[in-house]
Structure 1
Amino acid sequence: MMIILSLFFQILLILLGDRRKHNTGKKIGFFIWVAYLGADSVATFALGVLSKTQQGQRHTQTDELRAFWAPFLLLHLGGPDTITAYALEDNELWLRHLLALLIQVSVAFYVIFRSWTRTPISVLTILMFFTGIIKYGERTLALRWASKEHFRKSMLSESPPDPGPNYAKFMEGYVSKQEEGFVVDVVRISEDRLKLKKGQSYSLHHQIPIGGEINASEPAENHILEKKAHHLFKTFKRLYAGLILKYWEGEESKQFIKQSTPEKAFEVVEIELGFMFDLLYTKMPLVCTREGAKLRLFCFCLTICVFVSFFTTVENPKHRPHYSNVDIFITYLLLNSAILLELYGFIILLSSDRMILWLSKHKHKHKMASMAYFLMKPLQRKKRWSNSMGQYNVISSCLKDEATTFSIMTLTRLCNDQEMLDTYWYTFSNTFLLR
C-alpha cells in the first residue's frame, strides 16, 4: 500500500509540477502541495518498513523480491524533473536533503545487504540501487544550485558586477583641475551616443533584429524571440541574486522594449520567467548539462536492462513459483512506471524553450538535432503563464462576512494568524488579454 501510494504521488507531481507555470488555481496548488509534502514522507516510511522486515534471521524469496523495491523508493525520493522545490525556501534546505540522502541510502543498502542471496534478483537490485542514488543526488544538487548563496556565488563567478562611474574620484579630479586654473565644464552625453559594448550594438549576436518589425515566418520569429529571451535572461537573472546590473545591460533591455510591439515584449518576458522557473524549481538546468544528459541516459538504459532481465528471470518456470503474484505485479508496476515517467520527463525536456533553443542552434550542424527540432517544435507549449495576476480585494477584506466565515475567523484569531488567512481568502486572479 505504501509503495503504491508513493508511486501515485510521483505520478501526480510529474503531471502537475510543470503546470504551475500557467495555472495559478488554488485547487491545483493544493494538490501539488500535498503531493510534494507527502511524497517524501511516504517513501521514507515505506523504506523504514522494508528495513524492519529484514531484521529476521531467515529470509524468504518474498523478502528478496521486496528488497528489490528499496531502490525504487530512492527514485521516488529523488523526485520528478518537473519539481524539486515547492517554494524558494525549499532550496535553502539542501543540506537537510543531503543528510536525508545519506541516511536513506544507508537504509536501502541495509535492506539490500540483509536480503542478499546471490540470485539474479539480488544483482538487479544492486543495479537499480545505483540508479536510485543518482536520481536522489540530482535533486539534492539541483536544490543546492538554486539556493540563494550558491546562486549568488555562481553569478559573481560568471561576471563581476560593475558599480558604474566612480563619482568620488570624478569630483576629486574635477576640483583638482579647477584649483589648477582650468576651465572645467560637465557635459551630459546623450544615451544614443553610448555603446553597449565595444563592437556590439543593441541587437542580438549575429545581427538578429530585436524589434517588432520581423518579416520572417512564424517559426523563425519564435526562434528569434527565444534567443533574445535567453540572452536577456542571462543578464537579468543577476537581479534574483541581489546583484546590480552594468549600465549597458539595462540600456539593452530598454532599447528592446522601445523597438518591440507589446505582444513580442511580453512574450519575451514570458520566456525569461520560464527560464527562471526552471532554474529555481526544477532539475532542468542540471539535466541540460552534458554530464547531466549522460547520467540521465545511463540511468534510463540501466532501467531498461533491469526490466528485461527481471522479465526473463521471473518468467522462468524455475523461479516463478517462488514469488507472490501480488509482489510480481507491484514490481512490474514499479519498473514500467519508472520507464514511462522517464520518457514523459524526456518529452517535457525536449519540448521546453531551453531545449528548443539548443536544438535550433545545432540543427544545421547535426542531423539528429535537426530531426529532433522539427519533431519537438510542434509540441512546444505555447501557453507559458496563466495570463493572470493576483489582486488583493481591500473592500471585501474590510467588509468581512462574519456569518459565513465566523468559525474560520475565530480559529485564526485564537491562533493569532488572521492576517495570513485574510491574504489568502481575499486574493483573486485577474486575467489579462494581451493578445
Structure 2
Amino acid sequence: MESIPPNLRKLWKEWEFRGMILLSLTTQIVFVILGNRRKYIAGAWIRIIVWTAYLLADAVAIMAAGILSNNLGEIYRKDSFVPEYELLAFWAPMMLLHLGGTDAITAYSLEDNELWKRHSFGLVSQAMTTMYIFVLAWTRSLFSLLFVVMLYVGLVKYGERERVWVLYWASDNKFRDSIPDIPSSESKVVQECRLKQLEGYHHEFLEMVKRLFADLVMGFQDGYASRSIFENHGASSAFRIIEIELGLIYDLRYTKAKIVYSSWGIAGRFIGIFLTLIVLLMVSLHERILVANIATTPRLTVP
C-alpha cells in the first residue's frame, strides 16, 4: 500500500521547487527587514526569527538547486526540453544571489565568521551545480546568454566581493591583524584626534574601540585621551558616542559594511545592479514570445 496518495505526490512534485523558491525569498525578506534591527531591538522574538531564517537560507537555496538539477536531468534524458523548463532553469543563478545574502547580515554570531572556509567550499559546490544546470539548459537562445550574465553576478556576490570575503575579514585573526600596533611614542589615535580638533571635527574612536573587541591592550595615551574627551561631554553625549562606536563594530563583524563602504564594493554594486536590470529588461521584452511558445508546446509530465 502506498503511504502517500498519488494526488498528494503529484501536488508535491509540482510545488516542491516553487515552495523552495518562495521560502528562500521569504528568508531574504526577513533579512532585509529584521537583519539589522536586532542591533537596536533586544527582544527574544527578533532573535528567534532571524536565527531561524539564517539557518534556513543556505539549506533552502541548496535544496532548490538540487531539485532543479534533478528535474532538468530527467527532462534532458527524455530529450523533451521545452521553453518552460528553460525559463525554470533560470532560477539556478538566482540561488547564488540568495546565497550571497543581504547587506544587513552575513553572520548571526561571531563564530559564524570562522566558517568562511566552509562557505568557500559551498560556493564551489553550488557553482558546479549551477554549471551542471547551465549545460542541461543550454539551447543557444537568449535565456542561455542571460543565464551566463546572472551566473557571473551570482558568483561575484557570493564569492570574491561579498559573503565569503566579508566572513574572512571579519574572522578573529584577520580582525585582530587589521588593527595597527601601539607605537612607541605618541598614539596615532591621539594624533588624529588633535588634527580633527583643529579641523573642527569630533574625535574618532573606532580604531581605539576595535582594540577592546580584539582582546588587545589599549595604550596609555589612548586611555588618557578617551577619558579626557568623555569628561568634556555630558552623559547623553557620552552614551551617544558609545552607541555610534558599538554600531560601527557591529557592522564590521556582522554585516557587509566593509564591502559597502569601499570603492571596489561600490563599483561592484553598480555593475551588478546594471547587469541585473539589463537581464530583467531583456526577459520582459521576450516574455510574450516565451509564453506563446509554452502555450503551443505540449506539456511534459515528469513521473
TM band (smaller chain) = 0.7 to 0.9
SS of match in other structure, 2:86: helix
Q: 2:223 aligns with which of 245, 250, 254?
A: 250
Question: 192, 196, 213: which is aligned to 1:205?
Answer: 196
Aligned counterpart, 1:216: none
CA distance in 1, matches of 2:249, 2:189: 28
> What corresponds to 1:14 in structure 2?
32
CA 1:116–1:161 in structure 2 vs 1: closer, same or farther (change >3 Å)? same
Q: C-alpha distance in 1, partners of 2:222/2:288? A: 63
Shift of residue 245, structure 1, vs aligned partner: 2.1
Q: In the alignment, which residue of structure 2 is the partner of 1:142?
A: 166
TM-score using structure 2 length: 0.84
1:69 counterpart letter in structure 2: W
Deviation at 1:274, TM superposition (A): 0.5
| Contiguous gaps of at least 5 residues in structure 1 | 166-194, 210-223, 325-435
Name structure 2 gaps, 5 residues minimum.
1-18, 296-303
Shift of 1:239: 2.1
The equivalent residue for 1:264 is: 237
CA contact (8 A) 2:208 2:222 kept: yes
In the alignment, the residues of structure 2 paired with residue 47 and residue 40 of structure 1 have an alpha-carbon distance, to the nearest angstrom, of 11
Asked if structure 1 preserves the Cα contact closer than 8 Å seen for 2:187 and 2:219, the reply is no
Structure 2 equivalent of residue 335 of structure 1: none
- Please give the per-residue CA displacement for 1:156-211, whole angstroms capped at 9, x wherever unaligned: xxx2235x79xxxxxxxxxxxxxxxxxxxxxxxxxxxxx767995964515256xx
Larger radius of gyration: 1
Distance 2:193 2:91 in 1: 56
- 1:127 — aligned with what? 149
**TM-score, with length taken from structure 1:** 0.59
Q: 1:60 aligns with which of 76, 79, 82?
A: 82
| 2:205 alignment partner, SS class | helix
Amino acid at match of 2:66: G
Q: Contact 1:235–1:249 at 8 Å: present in 2 too?
A: yes
In structure 1, distance between residues paired with 2:36 and 2:113: 17
Verify: 1:82 aligned to 2:53, yes or no: no
Q: Give the 3-state SS of the residue equivalent to 2:216 in structure 1.
A: coil
Using the alignment, how far apart are the partners of 1:24 and 1:311 within structure 2?
A: 43
CA–CA distance in 2 between the matches of 1:303 and 1:197?
Answer: 43
Match of 2:181 in 1: 160
Mapped partners of 1:305, 1:260: distance in 2: 52
Distance 1:66 1:204 in 2: 58
Counterpart position of 2:253: 280
For 1:345-360, list aligned pairs within 5 A: none
Pair 1:202–1:93, CA change in 2 (3 A): closer
C-alpha change, 1:204 and 1:255, in structure 2 (3 Å) is farther
Query: Deviation per CA, 1:195-249, whole angstroms, max 9, x where unpaired?
Result: 767995964515256xxxxxxxxxxxxxx5xx53xx2012220222222222211
User: What is the one-letter code of the residue matched to 2:47?
Assistant: G
Deviations 1:3-33 (A, max 9, x none): 1110111011111001011101101111001
Return the letter of the residue paired with 1:102: V
What residue number does 1:105 align with?
127
Is the Cα–Cα contact under 8 Å of residues 84 and 281 in structure 1 kept in the other structure? yes
Which residue of the partner structure matches residue 321 of structure 1?
A: 292
Higher RCO structure, 1 or 2 (CA under 8 Å, sep 6+) = 2
> Equivalents in 2 of 1:265, 1:39: separation in Å?
38
- The percentage of counterpart residues that share the same residue type is 38
- For 1:386, the equivalent position in structure 2 comes to none
- For the 8 Å contact 2:65–2:130, the answer to whether it is kept is yes
Q: Which residue identity is paired with 2:24?
A: S
